[in-house]
């Protein structure tokens, strides 16, 4: 299959499941709540600050992955050359905060955590 050919899987023209969804249907606040309840199996009584951090991390991760998959798809379509770089210099604790700032989600996440009395 040529890189610039239209992809069709089961009659769908996109490789992404979420293309049919409205961005408002998977709001950050909703994803955060679903992660707490369905992935971590926590409620307002049993959820800890660590649980909230993890649920928020998962919600942000989902958004990062979606953007990354779209970028990879564009690279594949355009047959772009890539350079890979591995660095061992990272601070995991700051990674979430930096991602929130870079993706312009910091204020929204703070508001979510404030509304649930987590911060």
What pLDDT is recorded for position 42? 87
What pLDDT is recorded for position 88? 63
Per cent of the chain over pLDDT 70 is: 71
On whether the CB atoms of residues 43 and 37 are closer than 8 A, the answer is: yes
Give the three-class secondary structure for 12.
strand
DSSP letter at 111 equals: H
What pLDDT is recorded for position 93? 61
Listed in sequence order, the residues at least 6 apart from 18 whose beta carbon sits closer than 8 Å to its beta carbon are 26, 66
Q: Is 35 exposed, middle or buried (0-12, 13-18, 19+ CB in 10 A)?
A: buried
Measured between alpha carbons, how far is 95 from 89 in angstroms, rounded to an integer? Answer: 12
Q: Which residues of the chain have pLDDT under 70?
A: 1-25, 87-93, 119
Flag whether the pTM goes above 0.85: no
Listed in sequence order, the residues at least 6 apart from 67 whose beta carbon sits closer than 8 Å to its beta carbon are none
CA atoms within 13 A on the CB side of 107: 1
């Amino acid at each position: 299959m040529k890189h610039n050919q239209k992809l069709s899987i089961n009659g769908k023209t996109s490789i992404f499941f979420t293309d049919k969804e409205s961005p408002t249907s998977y709001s950050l606040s909703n994803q955060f709540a679903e992660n707490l309840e369905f992935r971590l199996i926590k409620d307002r009584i049993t959820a800890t600050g660590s649980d909230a951090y993890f649920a928020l991390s998962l919600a942000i991760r989902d958004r990062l992955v979606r953007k990354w998959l779209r970028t990879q798809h564009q690279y594949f379509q355009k047959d772009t050359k890539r350079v890979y770089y591995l660095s061992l210099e990272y601070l995991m604790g700051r990674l979430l905060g930096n991602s929130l700032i870079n993706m312009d989600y910091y204020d929204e996440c703070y508001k979510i955590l404030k509304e649930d009395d987590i911060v």
